[in-house]
Structure 1
Amino acid sequence: MIDFWLAAGLLLLVALSFLLIPVLRSRRAQLEEDRTALNVALYQERVAELQVQQQEGVLDAAQMDAGRAEAARELLADTEGVAAPRVTRLGKAAPLLAAILVPVLGLGLYLHFGASDKVELTREFAQAPQSMEEMTRRLERAVAAQPDSAEALYFLGRTYMTQDRPADAAKVFERTVNLAGRQPELLGQWAQAQYFADGKKWSDKVQALTDEALKADPKEVTSLGLLGIAAFEGQRYQEAIDYWNRLLEQLPPDDQSRIALQGGITRASEKLVASGGKVAQAPAAKPAALLKVRVDLAADLKAKVQPGDSVFIFARATSGPPAPLAAKRLTVADLPATVELGDGDAMMPQLKLSNFPEVQLVARISRAGQPTAGEWIGRSQPLASSTTAPQQLTIDSPDK
């Protein structure tokens, strides 16, 4: 914060200079006016002496005129170059009073409306935390400084869960939902925190939260995992297996949690068999989607683009969330190019190509490297996500 206050002080000095410099100039102008007045008084005194000498007969008329002319030349020489006095209505007290009030008022306004705490937080977050406790303290201060930030609340809730503080996490996730809306992922996080805060006891509140989350998104991963845990704890092993199998389908192939999840399915299956039951076969998994598309640039646009411009190629659902389901990034220098978009390129585990029956292919050129806005774009007609035939996509229109 030292460099911040030094910069603020420098700016304050610049502001004060606009108030104090006119005061200093007025003092210099006053000195010049005083000197001019003194020269005029001396001139008048000299002329009076000449008149006395003329009356006494010491000087004749010609000598009197010569003396008067000499005194006038001296007065003109002394006052030459003196600027005309400036007329001001502020006086001297007003600028000096303003020079005192400006820093006091500026400091008071900054302390009331400013964001020194947010500046300090920004500086802290620029450095890696040394411990989880330090990260938690930073997030708590961030939430205190920005109580309406759903993102800060969300990360604080997740941090509380990693520190085995589910009661605190449940309160934070409830605030997050109130700010950001009843999004499935947030409802799932809230339900999970509430379940553990209640000592792993299933309640109507937790049931309502998971029901709402899965109604909005049947593939919401936190709710699926939580329902599997609750079913296992309640010795409803087939339900646990079903929920965890649904969750397993949403996880990427390289997700480390797949091992633990598969281990839970195995234990539930063993307990079900030991209790005399039989494990129901899971339905066949839906085949993964894979779209192959060749992207090219219209001939009339080749002279308007630069080789380093970013090219974003993505597929999005024609009826569903606006977020891309799969995306790749190239540059104009790579065109024409053939890319593949599949479930493995999913931006989020629950948003896979195979989960949506119809999609649209989009290619966008962005000079600023922004995937959501650019200069030129190409779009395909809606097509089935199960399409296997290669597709052609041409960037040929201004991006509006």
Structure 2
Amino acid sequence: MTPFFLFIAAALALLLIVTALLFRPLWQGRAITTDAESPALRVLREQRADLDRELAAGKITAEAHAQTLGELEARALAESEAPEQSLGKPRRVWAAGLALVLPLAAVALYLSLGNLQGLNPRATAALAEDAAPTAAQIDAMVAGLADRVKRHPDDLEGLQMLGRSYMVLGRFAEAETTFAQLASKKPEAQTYADWADAVASRQNRSLEGEPEKLVRQALKLDPNNIKALALSGTLAFERKQFKLAVADWEKIAARVPPESEFAQSVDAMLREARQRGGMPQKQAGAPSPVTPSPAAASPLKMRGTVTLAAALRDKASPDDALFLFARPAAGGPPFAGMRFKVSELPIQFDFAQAQLMMGSPDPKQKVIIGARISKRGNAMPQAGDLQGLTAETAMDATGIRIEIAEVVK
């Protein structure tokens, strides 16, 4: 039985039960009785007592007593039956009217205030699909941004957003071209760091060659750029130059909020680098080698954990791409995203470190965070992908838990 017919059957059953409970006592027309005697009956009882005393005193004959007593009994019977006779007919009229009007009123009320489409599985499925942006919608969004940048070459912020959008979508070659174009107009450390990340991603996450040159250029422009330091430390770690890696990552640790997830990740990286390099671990509470500088404010402060359901672990490979994104709860394309690998699960995420794709969102709006595993390395949802979504979440929510437990159909 479909949800529509189940709802109709349940609604009709409840309606019949309520109508029957109201209909039965009204139709029977029972008068409401009390233990108190009515004034009229009390007067008749006193008149009978007077009549008995007159007979005993010889003031009236037995025939007159019997005749008057019969009249009193008739009046007493009429008084006792009058309430029930007067209430019976109006109650039955109300009962008939209620049995007819109540069902019609309930149906009319639902038709005017209810939503019949909510009982249609196809309609609800279509609404659910509309809430989440489709691949075509996101492609159209990015294409619109690319067209806007083409028409307004001086829109450097739009150009940066376009490059970051390409990164989140896994379109690394286009991101590389975009950041190269931005660097020619805005030769800043962050631009070169983003450019290096795009080239390394295209080279299967290898920082050798051109990415290293771009990282060095970024650090030349700003020795404390966090992304450039992260890439430089990663390159040193891969070359087993653990002291250099520690030096770069310690600078990062001094410049991020110590309670953030990103700071905890950096701390874990530092512990591993020190262990492999045979260096002593830093004591808790020891001062950082660099004076902290204020962190850039970001409206995105969502933090939490991503896990993969045990039932789906055989459907994912360690090298599969895992995309983490945030989009408006009201619907629309993602405005921030991050990219990981399945091998990194469980993942501790902090959206304060995420790349914004479409400008800074309103910090008061609710968001939905999603995690999607793609074997094709494409951020666009496709059949066979694995995903998990949160309910509506505030931008400063912490302790968020996302379980990837659904197969995209």
Aligning the two structures, in what range does the TM-score lie when normalised by the shorter sequence?
Answer: 0.3 to 0.5
TM-score between both structures, scaled by the size of structure 1 = 0.36
> Which structure is higher in RCO with an 8 Å CA cutoff and minimum separation 6?
2
